[in-house]
Amino acid sequence: MGEWSNGLFGCFGNMGICIRTYFCPCVVHGHNAEKVELGTCMKCGLVSLTPCGLYFMAKTREAVREKKGIEGDFINDCLISWVCGLCSLVQVARELDDEPSSSGQAMARV
């Protein structure tokens, strides 16, 4: 089994994601959920504002874990989303941003 490429408390490794998550966590969650095909950015972002938001944050975290082969379980995902919600959102966003682009093309610098 694999591990997260970024630690849970490595929030400041990407200041752009960190700032977006602090000021608009619903948008970051929406983007995360859309990247793992759990729904549209708008729908998932709005759901994250409801009492069910923690559940859907945990489901997104679970989907990323399964996609990347990272060890863990859903109960742990729920606890992390509840106790360290913003850090969890940043960790998931950074994990998804570390993936190669879906188009399969790379830009070369000249």
Residue range 18-71, pLDDT digits in tens: 999 999 888 998 899 999 998 887 887 788 778 788 899 999 999 999 999 999
**26 found inside a domain:** yes
**33 found inside a domain:** yes
Residue 107 pLDDT grade (very low, low, confident, very high; cuts 50, 70, 90): very low
**107 found inside a domain:** no
CA distance 46 to 98: 25
Q: What predicted TM-score, i.e. pTM, was given to this entire model?
A: 0.81
Helix axes 25-35, 15-23, angle to 10 degrees: 120
Instruction: Kindly tell me if the per-residue pLDDT of 102 is higher than 70.
Output: no
**25 found inside a domain:** yes
Number of domains in the chain: 1
For the chain, give the mean pLDDT.
83
Q: What count of other Cβ atoms lies within 10 Å of the Cβ of residue 77?
A: 23
- Domain containing 91 equals 11-97
**83 found inside a domain:** yes
**102 found inside a domain:** no
Q: What count of other Cβ atoms lies within 10 Å of the Cβ of residue 26?
A: 18
Q: Which two tokens stand for residue 98?
A: 């570390």
Question: Is-contact 91 4, C-beta < 8 A?
Answer: yes
